[in-house]
Structure 1
Amino acid sequence: MADKNGTKITILGAGNVGASVAYTFAVAGTCSDIVLVDINKAKAKGEAMDIRQGVSFGENVEIFDGGYEDAKDSDIVVVTLGIARKPGQTRLDLAQTNVNIIKEVMPQVAKYAPDAIYVVVSNPVDVLTYTILKCTDLKPNQVIGSGTALDTSRLRSIIADHVGLSPNSIHAYVFGEHGDSSFIPWSIMNIAGVPVDEYCADQDHADLDEDEIIDEVRKAGAEVIKRKGATFYAIAMTVNKICDTVLRDSKNIITVSTMINNRYGISDVCLSLPCVIGSNGIEKEVSPKLNDAEIEKLQASAKALRNVIDQIQF
């Protein structure tokens, strides 16, 4: 593959998620070069060929299959390695299997692309983001777990449907684990600066049920898996947003999973809180003022993740 001035993203894993991410990059014109790497070389080649054959109708993107060494000079490496979640399985059930895969592959890839920003998508994403930081010399700002970025998007869509607005006008977040202990910090949720409950009352919308909404957000992925066997489009759009933000140095604030140290009484665990994302990856951490009940929920989420980390063989 010829060196050129452009932006290069390597995607590790060419399964449903990896292929959908590559397709989304190609359609959006997010980068100039995409490399797909998979243990199943024929699958990676087939996916690359399939996308390449359509680019004359869109943005000009070079897309190849390759090996770990082809990650060299990547601006971003997207990690979709591992076994996907099956119906009825929690993300944490996958932990040890996928930790083992990450431990084997990531030190090799990091050797070829030590300066890249790594966007981790594989589940359990918080545990695997932590694993990558432990098994490589990558710095915490370089490793971004997709975390609750997707949960946040799901939450905004749910509230937008309820109040009849665009999800872009809903300022709401999901914090904590990308999983069963996640929570919504209701106290900071607003629409045009108006607290959501107040907005609903002013505009004659029915009240929102907090428990119902967090339940719907948490189960959203499992519901899709139950019906179609896997989730990949929404996460591909999420990853594209994160990568586009890095490549454009956009300084967007996104809830992503990152190593937490001394925030809200939490340390040495990866979970999602708002971060400013730019060309250096995690540029700044944002710590909104939460009430005591919310801090308790965040700490409980950290504890749930810490319990898993403590049981894993790194």
Structure 2
Amino acid sequence: MIERGKGTRVVIVGTGFVGSSYSYALLNQGVVDEMVLIDLNKAKAEGDAMDLNHGMPFGSPMKIWAGDYSDCKDADLVVITAGANQGPGETRLDLIEKNTKIFKGIVSDIMASGFDGIFIVATNPVDILSYATWKFSRLPMERVIGSGTILDTARFRFLLGQYFDVDSRNVHAYIMGEHGDTELPVWSHADIGGRPILSYLEDHNTNRSMKDLDDIFINVRDAAYHIIERKGATYYAIAMGLVRLTRAILRNENSVLTVSTLLQGQYNLDDIYIGVPAIVNRNGIREVLELKLDDAEQKKLEHSANVLKQAMAPVFKA
């Protein structure tokens, strides 16, 4: 699977804010050999392809074109960013019904091409739409991956690094659960250079407090609302997160990323796509990492899963 001997091809479905930002980041980081842009607005996809190609002398050599679903046949990855956007005052879960309908058509057209690669889903609500993609495509669960809480985790690490005045790349901490209002911080496994973050609160010569850490998490959880209020949408950071996930897959990195994947008994949860740490490589999800959560964290994760299941029940009736 995925060994075609032709170089790597990524197809991006949806050239809105996220899709175009992802394609631009992909060009800058030189991760793939071929990039195909598909959009309902063909002229927009063509314009983006032209614009990106004109930057080729400053970027990485690759072939970029506006295509159609037939181009998915030879793709290693199809990344779906298409769908209705979250508007001001709207939660991600408000988008379920309309985006599930959109996805049924998109995934059917992709699979009709003979596609046999890996799906990455970025459209919200990402956990439910990842589940929908898995159901509609009938691919093995390891080959349908949602962006999950990779962005939330990045926001978490950035704000913790800022608070402790440490490079965020040296902060190891996860956000798990729904990519949305019921997500949770995993304080029991958060550390800086191996030292548990909660142990910093024991230092008597600092003014750090649990309240500060709780405020950091609230800022992480509500970040999208604040950004949407100011500029209408979020797209730069998630685009970079998608490139990180793309690289982990295509370069067979066996990287640990907090993606949305199907749980089958892990964390006492079943038949649900939700954000958890997982090892990602050329075949998709190699393994879900089952961290030992404390009782409060486990309850919050179960609550998050229950909210998702209740929200998706009307759409995925037995």
Amino acid of the structure 2 residue aligned with 1:104: G
Deviation per CA, 1:24-68: give whole Å up to 9, x if none.
100111101100000100000001110111111111121100111
Task: Give 1:71 shift.
Answer: 1.2
Look up the match of 1:232: 235
Look up the match of 2:136: 135
Task: Give 1:201 shift.
Answer: 4.0
After TM superposition, the structure 1 = structure 2 runs for residues 243-262 of structure 1, keeping only pairs within 5 Å, are 243-262=246-265
2:72, 2:115 within 8 Å by CA — same for their partners in 1? no
Q: Partner of 1:311: helix, strand, or coil? A: coil
Q: Does 1:206 align with 2:208?
A: yes
Look up the match of 1:67: 68
Task: Name the CA distance, whole Å, in 1 between partners of 2:234 and 2:276.
Answer: 23
Look up the match of 2:43: 42
Look up the match of 1:276: 279
What count of residue pairs does the alignment treat as equivalent? Answer: 312
Look up the match of 1:51: 52
Unmatched 5+ stretches in structure 2 = none
Amino acid of the structure 2 residue aligned with 1:204: T
Q: Partner of 1:264: helix, strand, or coil? A: helix
Task: Name the CA distance, whole Å, in 1 between partners of 2:202 and 2:164.
Answer: 11
After TM superposition, the structure 1 = structure 2 runs for residues 76-91 of structure 1, keeping only pairs within 5 Å, are 76-91=77-92
1:260, 1:267 within 8 Å by CA — same for their partners in 2? yes
Look up the match of 2:194: 193
Q: Does 1:14 align with 2:15?
A: yes
After TM superposition, the structure 1 = structure 2 runs for residues 150-189 of structure 1, keeping only pairs within 5 Å, are 150-189=151-190
Deviation per CA, 1:222-276: give whole Å up to 9, x if none.
1111111111100000000000110110011000001111012111111011100
Task: Name the CA distance, whole Å, in 2 between partners of 1:86 and 1:278.
Answer: 34
Q: Does 1:305 align with 2:315?
A: no
Task: Name the CA distance, whole Å, in 2 between partners of 1:281 and 1:28.
Answer: 20
Task: Name the CA distance, whole Å, in 2 between partners of 1:43 and 1:114.
Answer: 24
Look up the match of 2:29: 28
Task: Name the CA distance, whole Å, in 1 between partners of 2:286 and 2:266.
Answer: 16
Look up the match of 2:124: 123
Task: Give 1:171 shift.
Answer: 0.8
Look up the match of 2:148: 147
- TM-score, scaled to structure 2: 0.95
> Alignment identity in percent?
39
Task: Give 1:279 shift.
Answer: 0.1
Task: Name the CA distance, whole Å, in 2 between partners of 1:19 and 1:75.
Answer: 19
Task: Give 1:205 shift.
Answer: 5.4
1:245, 1:278 within 8 Å by CA — same for their partners in 2? yes
Task: Give 1:208 shift.
Answer: 4.1
2:21, 2:236 within 8 Å by CA — same for their partners in 1? yes
Q: Does 1:218 align with 2:221?
A: yes
- TM-score, scaled to structure 1: 0.96
1:294 to 281, 297, 302: 297
Task: Give 1:214 shift.
Answer: 2.1
User: Structure 1 191/205 Cα, relative in aligned 2: closer, same or farther at 3 Å?
Assistant: farther
Amino acid of the structure 2 residue aligned with 1:184: P
Deviation per CA, 1:117-155: give whole Å up to 9, x if none.
111000000000010111112110001100101000000
RMSD value, Cα: 1.4
Q: Does 1:114 align with 2:101?
A: no
Task: Give 1:302 shift.
Answer: 0.3
Amino acid of the structure 2 residue aligned with 1:218: R
Task: Name the CA distance, whole Å, in 1 between partners of 2:33 and 2:183.
Answer: 36
User: Structure 1 277/7 Cα, relative in aligned 2: closer, same or farther at 3 Å?
Assistant: same
User: Structure 1 55/4 Cα, relative in aligned 2: closer, same or farther at 3 Å?
Assistant: farther
Amino acid of the structure 1 residue aligned with 2:38: V
Task: Name the CA distance, whole Å, in 2 between partners of 1:152 and 1:223.
Answer: 17
Amino acid of the structure 1 residue aligned with 2:285: I
Task: Name the CA distance, whole Å, in 2 between partners of 1:86 and 1:138.
Answer: 31
